[in-house]
Homo-oligomer: A and B are copies of this chain.
Amino acid sequence: MAAGNRTTGSGEDRLIDRYFRPLARHPGAFGLIDDAATYTPPPGQDLVLTVDAIVAGVHFFSDDPPESIARKALRVNLSDLAAKGAAPAGFLLTMALPKTTDEVWLADFAQGLAADIAAFGCPLFGGDTVSTPGPATISVTAFGRLPEGTAVRRRGAKPGDSIVVSGAIGDAVLGLALRGRDADAKGWPLDDDERLFLIDRYLRPRPRLELAETIRLSASAAMDVSDGLAGDLAKLCAASGVDAVVDLAAVPLSVAARVVLSAHPALIERLITGGDDYEILATVSPDNFAALQEAGEAAGVPVTRIGEVKEGTGQALFLDPDGKVLDLAQTSFSHF
């Protein structure tokens, strides 16, 4: 056989064969041997599309466990789908990887991805692998589905609606400080379990897909909290043309976050402006709050009322226990 007729043997093809083809079991993925994938949406359903990229040294540490990098890349997108009320249908993966990336790294990355594909029922449909002289950059395009016209928007919050969040706020920004060996974080009075819990909350977001259907049926507006509660709530308010008044004391915090806060009360600002929470922030009419809370209880994910929507022009006000408006220096994370 002439060398010109080799159909395998390129390193790229071999790595895809070995680590990613086994993850692409959906028939529409064509075993990753085609140029594109196909997906047949169920009749009467809208597709919900979202894309998010994470970059080594910016959104994750280059020595984070590869399985957790893979999971984070997928989960930050699933979190967007959940907040819109969509069920995941599949995803495409772009990896720009340094030439030094070794197979152990790739195998671990693929294993993390495989675990989440199974856990969230979200199959791999295709992707692209390219080399980069820069840091590893992982981009995921996830698509989900929901009954036509029912996607929950950022727009839609009405005066009188309750403001709710899932889970707990601020763990990930503390986990980031611990993971990054932030000098401040050294003094936090945490035991090992609490420390690991917070780091895990940073490394492995929990997309709240269990709440997606109830969000779709009951929320007037919703988004996921990725860039900090304060800034994201302000975005929701701006899109809805309302104000939000939040009772700071009602913002749900984990036990570990409370331990840190009890020693350093000023950190409350970091908790509500830090990013990477990947919780759902939603507004619901008072009548619908009970349904959402029940769905949370059934799913083991607390849903907490933190404030109320008011008439306004797009402000999110956080009131401290004395009723004073918090003056937040920076509301959210920005890449530029």
Closest to A129 in B: B335
Main secondary structure of the interface of A (DSSP, over half): mixed
**Which residues of B lie under 8 Å from residue A48 when comparing CB positions?**
36-38
**Cα A41 to Cα B135 with chains together (Å):** 36
Interface residues of A in 2-24 (CB under 8 A from B): 2-8, 10-13, 15
User: How many copies of this kind of chain does the complex include?
Assistant: 2
**Cα A329 to Cα B6 with chains together (Å):** 10
User: Could you show 25 A-B contacts with beta carbons less than 8 Å apart?
Assistant: A2-B315, A2-B327, A4-B316, A4-B317, A4-B327, A4-B328, A6-B234, A7-B237, A7-B315, A10-B231, A10-B334, A11-B336, A33-B155, A33-B235, A35-B83, A36-B49, A37-B49, A38-B47, A39-B49, A51-B92, A53-B94, A99-B336, A128-B139, A131-B335, A137-B137
Residues in A lying within 8 Å of B, measured CB to CB:
1-8, 10-13, 15, 30, 33-41, 43, 46-55, 57-59, 80-81, 83-84, 86, 92-94, 96, 99, 125-135, 137, 139, 141, 143-144, 148, 151, 153-155, 223-224, 230-231, 234-235, 237-239, 273, 314-318, 325-332, 334-336
